[in-house]
Amino acid sequence: SLLLLLVSNLLLWQSVTPLPVCPGGAVRCQVTLRDLFDRAVVLSHYIHNLSSEMFSEFDKRYTQGRGFISKALNSCHTSSLATPEDKEQAQQISQKDFLSLIVSILRSWNEPLYHLVTEVRGMQEAPEAILSKAIEIEEQSKRLLEGMELILSQVHPETRENAVYSVWSGLPSLQMADEESRLFAYYNLLHCLRRDSHKIDNYLKLLKCRIVHDNNC
């Protein structure tokens, strides 16, 4: 009977252990994490698609041919965050740091997204397509943030609430009287949003394969 107990314990442990990131215990955690990551990836993918469309529409309509791209260099407020820029760098970041980083980026965009919506909505002849996308991005980003914080709490429960994020101070630029300056401010904002949403999406897909599938997607 002792042998039976031993064997059954071993079997139970085996079913539990595939993910070391579930200290909360067993099967329920494993399943939940997978679902959380699946959901997160869906959101991040969706947000980037929206951001990319929004940028393309804005550029096509307002700033085509102005050469803003040459000016929108190194102008994103989140550039201060040390984010990996290739696969090797990404693989060197720990799981925990990676998750924290993602959360930081998401947090950094809370305020800009909020103002973006406000400002676009207040525009005369507000572009409806851009506005609707901005609204959607803001809402989905909040959900994604919540999901990431949940994942973080499950994977690394000991992590204190992460306060690191980049502050955005581009609001005055959005309200500038000079049209070109204002347009550039929007252009820059949307350009950065497109980039950062792509980052988040790529990072999450990396983490999902790393955490849920053990680098075997």
Q: Which residues of this chain interact with another protein, rule CB under 8 A? A: 45, 48-49, 52, 69-70, 73-74, 79, 83, 85-88, 90-91, 195, 198-199, 201-202, 205-210, 213, 215-217
Please name which of 104, 134, 103, 129 lies closest in space to residue 118, comparing C-alpha atoms. 134
Distance CA 172, CA 185 (A): 9
Distance CA 170, CA 116 (A): 10
The 10 Å CB-count burial string (b at 16+, else e) for 61-80 is ebbeeeebeeebeeebbbee
Distance CA 92, CA 204 (A): 15
The residue with tokens 């329920």 is 28
Distance CA 73, CA 170 (A): 15
Closest to another protein by CB, 95 vs 171, is 95
Closest to another protein by CB, 90 vs 117, is 90
What residues form the annotated binding site for Zn(2+)? Answer: 45, 201
Closest to another protein by CB, 119 vs 201, is 201
What residues form the annotated binding site? Answer: 45, 201
Q: How far is the CB of 2 from another protein (least distance, A)?
A: 42
Q: How far is the CB of 92 from another protein (least distance, A)?
A: 12
Q: How far is the CB of 131 from another protein (least distance, A)?
A: 23
Closest to another protein by CB, 49 vs 132, is 49
Q: How far is the CB of 88 from another protein (least distance, A)?
A: 8
